Structure 1
Amino acid sequence: MSDVTFPMVRRRPLDPPDEATELRQQGAMHRMTYPDGHRGWLVTRYSAARAILAHPHFSNRQELSHPPLPSQLERVRMQRERKMPAGVFLRMDPPDHTRYRKLLTGQFTVRRMKALESRIEEIVNAHLDGMAAAGGPVDLVQMFALPIPSLVICELLGVPYEDRAQFQEDSKLLLSLETKAEEAIAALGRVMAYLYGLIQRKRKEPSDDLLSGLIEGGELNDEELTGVSFLLLVAGHETTANMLGLGTYALLTNPDQLAAMRDDPSVVDNGVEELLRYLTIIHVGPIRTALEDVEIEGTLIKAGETVTLQLPAANRDPSRFPDGDRLDVTRQAGGHLTFGHGIHQCLGQQLARAEMRIAYPALLRRFPGLRLAVTPEEVPMRSDMGIYGVHRLPVTW
């Protein structure tokens, strides 16, 4: 079998690329040649992906990995030259990762997320009122899916929501697979400069928010605080925003599943997990690099080799999720890998779940006649972005 190459193209907007599904049927591990000539692996089955995410001898450090897409080569090279900003712990290994993660874990407890739920409900209802006042058709991304998680994460961190336009535009540049390296580095610089300035202001005038709490804790310097806040800000609104947009598109194109989510409150928790599994918006990566020789399911991965996980295919693996290509909001879908697994599992997953559990049923009940204002084929998909979703979602009711 010849080497796997990227990018893979989704021929149907809600399904993994056909090549990924075919590879999964053949096996878990597939030889892959990266754009820089490095020989590594593509992982398509659930058990192998989960084992790699949990394994202590696979590194998440950016300077060790090899990008799977040609468009990322120059950007990664420039980022390596500049070194990963302090505090961006997602791309660190223990013990550095452990230190940052421990400081933040207490901020994202289930208890705190429960306490936030009433505020999330207020934000959701305010945006539903805005949609009703505007009248259809509207772009659900701009009126609902993007502003709700953006407002929530801004309030949680203590970032002024009125400043959102610039950092949202820069986030889009950073997450686009097509942004030129110089533009991405400039966008990163703008966001970091903004957050650094915000931290200086909070040192003088702290308030009741997560960033002020981290400042008062005294364990992080300003550069570290800037990196941590950057990671939380971008991850906190981009991921949930795309789940709300793409999840609504999935439900509108599967009306029986929409009806179940709208009409049966007991379905909502399972439904959110199923949408997370079925859609798997992290569609390029995660990427790990072996620190030493490791055998995974009979395949030897040598020290220094990079593995790219194809999570959309792994989350449809029939050995873990029978009939996994079917959206079934009543399915027990726990254990999916959309939030990752192991020490790098998404820190804000409980917040994301709370937002989706509130937002989906509220939207569907407020507008029981909600429907696409264009054909499904006319909805522009985010195939060009590191986080999958819809660029726009025209709806009416």
Structure 2
Amino acid sequence: MSVEAGLALAGSGILQSAAPDPGREGHWVLRAGSRVGAVRTPGGPVVRIMPKTPVSRLFFLLGFSLDPARAWRDSREGSVDTGAYDDVVPALAHAVERQVDAALRRGVLQGYREVEESAPVVRGRLREAEQIRQHFGRTPPAEIAYDAYTADTADTAENRILRAAAERLLRLPGVPGPVRRRLAHQRVRLADARPLIRGQQLPRWQPSRLNSRYRPALRLAEAVLRGTSPELRPAEDEPLSVDGFLLDMNKLFEDFVTAALREALREQGLTACLQDSHHLDTAGLVRIRPDLVVRTGDGRTPLAVVDAKYKVETADGLHNADLYQALAYATVLGLREAHLVYAAGRRPERFHEVRGTTAGRDGPGVRLYQHSLDLSQEPGHILSSLREVAVRLTGTTLRPQP
């Protein structure tokens, strides 16, 4: 590829590294980081980053993270239909199109829009700042804001999000022709929805009886809109816009593990606090944030701590920096155990007992556990493995899943 495109990729943060190939002029050596998907630079090639995890399993993790309560009850992989595609972008486009089609089967959603106006009576909430500025606090009229039900689909947040996702997918590289044609059809069905303005926050929507049929499509569409069109930032130039979709596997794996463990622990009446913030030092200068801290039902007493790592086990099975981090968590929380959950490993579980922490009669010293999930297994098997991790965290026998 060209020098300009190579430098843009090297400075983007999308890849772990990008450097000219010393043996072949005009060629670059690219090393993937934690992101998977595809991006296209203006005038440059399409860069496709394939996951080591099977694509169908990757979308199971994504679907679970988007709706953990529903997925915990039903672990069937079909909750996110990726068709027969084994590449991230085609599978994503197919999945979104199928979800949008199901959402629109009973027609385009009519709903509520926010109205701000002057009125002789108070309805909804009073806009106090406007009331003082416009009328010096006197009423009537009253400056109010409220949600009004409307047959107009243009301003309905749900329709705007689905339209934006369809349009974004139509611009992605690598969307198969049949899927592209179906997406274009969905775009026509949503043509009355007002388009989103690039760079602005997504419109807010609240789950309700009215939009229940839209919810699976909405969650997946929001994931598309958050993961597409990254900005490449070359060191000396203005941001360079590209079209693409990228999933951060580190965050996806962390979200999946913590959501699944939270559901398992909830069955036992325990509280799972995500990204629980603490300080390592007494001065409160060094902040630590474990992925998940298990607490008693009242949320007061910590019982266990977990960190999820999208990593493969090394030759000796050790990740020293991770173990040091886990020990710090256990020390600050006053626990005898800390747990690390990896995406792959040679053994389902191993532990290390920390020297200098043996407690004599009170039991063993601090133990650092390493758990490994096999993401090539079926979804039900993966969730069963996480239930076993939850057993270790609680020290109790979890009820079997019906």
- Structure (1 or 2) with the greater strand fraction: 2
Higher RCO (CA-CA < 8 Å; seq separation 6+): 1
- Structure (1 or 2) with the greater helix fraction: 1
TM-score, normalised with respect to structure 2: 0.27
Q: Which has the larger radius of gyration?
A: 2
